[in-house]
Chains A and B, each alone.
Chain A
Amino acid sequence: MTRNSESPEREDRELLLQVARGDEQAFARLYDRFAAPAFGLALKICGNRALAEDVVQEAFLSIWRKPGSYHPERGTVASYLFGAVHNKAVDAVRHEESLRRREQAFGDQPEESGQEEVVEGAWIALRRDQVRDAMRRLSPVQREALELAYFEGLTYSEVAGKLGIPLGTAKTRLRDGMIRLRNLLSGRMIGGAQ
């Protein structure tokens, strides 16, 4: 959270407060700002375009329908919005596991990126670079655990099962990975040597 990202965060907050007051144009601007990263996240987790579209739709509409559930003092719009997307994506994939396996078996692969002109807020691209850099500085086992939990939608006990490690170890790797990631992103660990 460097200084030059404060202004976009403040803009986002103001935008979401307008959305909370029922401003449909603000809602459209919110969509424009976050749709591509939101859809990318949903697609990576769901592995299926139709499912990802439903997830993104439900996430944005849930934000529109429940204006009181965003609390600016509790976090950024990005964490709130991506949180809604992630939640619904994981629910969807846990129910659609067999569908996804069938699709992959028949070679119906989702069209991943390879798209050029993706429209998103410029500061989002900056944050993406920051988190990619930070993720590289996690230990391999922490990174692996986070990826399995966050992007594969596994529970921590499923992560433990998949890696053949005790439950406590899975919990610890996730916790330590998250703490380290947070420290790196907030600039507390200058240089970030492992």
Chain B
Amino acid sequence: MTHEEFEELVPAYVLNALAPGEEMHLRAHLETCRTCAIMQQEHLETTGYLALMAPPVSPPADLKERILVEASRAPRAAPPPVRPRRRSGWARMGAAIAAAAAIVLAVVAGALGLVGYSQARELRQVLAVVGSASRTVDMSPASQDGAAGRIYIAGGDRVALVMSGLPDPGDRVYQLWLIEEGRPVPLDAFRPEAGVAAFTLRARLGPGQDMAVTLEPSAGNTAPRGPQVLST
């Protein structure tokens, strides 16, 4: 999506009138585009007035009590520290996973001509697995270039993979492999956006199984040909 196309969506975004996939995509753009961020702030101010078009209605008295009771017992987050600079692959991954997934999904969706709801469903799946993961397995880079990957394993065979710091593959493609007893089995091929890629898959990861990411001349190889980028 071009910057102009993002800009066109900002008013609708502020009105909460975007489809979930578009919203995630625009939110990622807003993190890097000052023009759109300023526009968002200006439109947000307007909604502060628009809200008043609804006639005021006094809520029941016990609502206030419920809220105050809940507040007095709720643990509060400390005001967040200044966002750390994105130095390493891990620091970058510490930032919004949702933004990362949205960028990747937007690229894939664009390539396949999918829009809207299917993006939202995939993104929700990534976040659902990450949120309910019972264990994680880290992938290490083959060289020192800052690539990082983490595998999230939720119940059964639900797996999500989130990677960052992946160099631009150019006209090659990244390929994920499941390595069972030394034998590589090809899984998903993917291209990162801004160095980030995230998706879900079904796989049982137990002892004796590893995962690796290689950089291949094309997708669909039955055995890895290119260099290894990440591995467990």
Contacts and interface: CB of A to CB of B under 8 A. Distances in A.
Task: Indicate, yes or no, whether A interacts with B.
Answer: yes
Interface of A: 1, 20, 22, 24, 27-28, 31-32, 35-37, 39-41, 43-45, 52-53, 56-57, 60-61, 64-68, 74-76, 78-80, 82-83, 85-87, 90, 112-113, 115, 117-120, 124, 127-128, 130-132, 134-135, 146, 149-151, 153-157, 159, 171, 174-175, 178-179, 181-182, 185
Residue of B10, B41, B57, B63 most packed against chain A (CB within 10 A):
B57
Interface in B149-168: none
B52 A127 contact: yes
Nearest to A159: B17
A194 B44 CA distance: 24
A75 B44 contact: yes
A150 B47 contact: yes
B9 A56 contact: no
Contacts of B96: none
B50 interface: yes
A79 B17 contact: no
Contacts, number: 184
B58 A35 contact: yes
Contacts of B72: 24
Contacts of A36: 56-59
B49 A127 contact: yes
Interface stretch (B75-83, B194-202, B221-229): B75-83
Given A28-B64, A182-B43, A112 B12 contact: no
Given A57-B63, A75-B44, A149-B12, 13 more contacts: A1-B45, A20-B79, A22-B76, A36-B56, A39-B58, A53-B60, A75-B48, A79-B46, A79-B48, A85-B51, A113-B57, A175-B11, A178-B43
A120 to B, nearest CB: 5
Contacts of B145: none
B128 to A, nearest CB: 16
B112 interface: no
Contact of B54 (A20, A40, A83, A146): A40
B52 A75 contact: no
A176 to B, nearest CB: 9
Nearest to A90: B16
B15 interface: yes
B111 interface: no
B142 interface: no
B87 interface: no
29 contacts: A31-B64, A37-B54, A41-B51, A41-B54, A44-B54, A57-B66, A60-B71, A61-B70, A67-B78, A74-B41, A74-B44, A75-B44, A75-B48, A76-B45, A78-B48, A78-B49, A86-B47, A87-B16, A124-B56, A131-B49, A135-B53, A150-B50, A157-B19, A159-B17, A171-B8, A174-B12, A175-B10, A178-B43, A182-B45
Nearest to B16: A90
Interface string B13-30: 011111100000000000
A35 B64 contact: yes
B59 A113 contact: no
B203 interface: no
B44 A178 contact: no
A82 B18 CA distance: 18
Contacts of A131: 49-50, 52-53
Nearest to A57: B67
A124 B44 CA distance: 17
B55 interface: yes
Given A27-B68, A28-B64, A182 B55 contact: no
Nearest to A168: B8
Contacts of B19: 155, 157
B56 A118 contact: yes
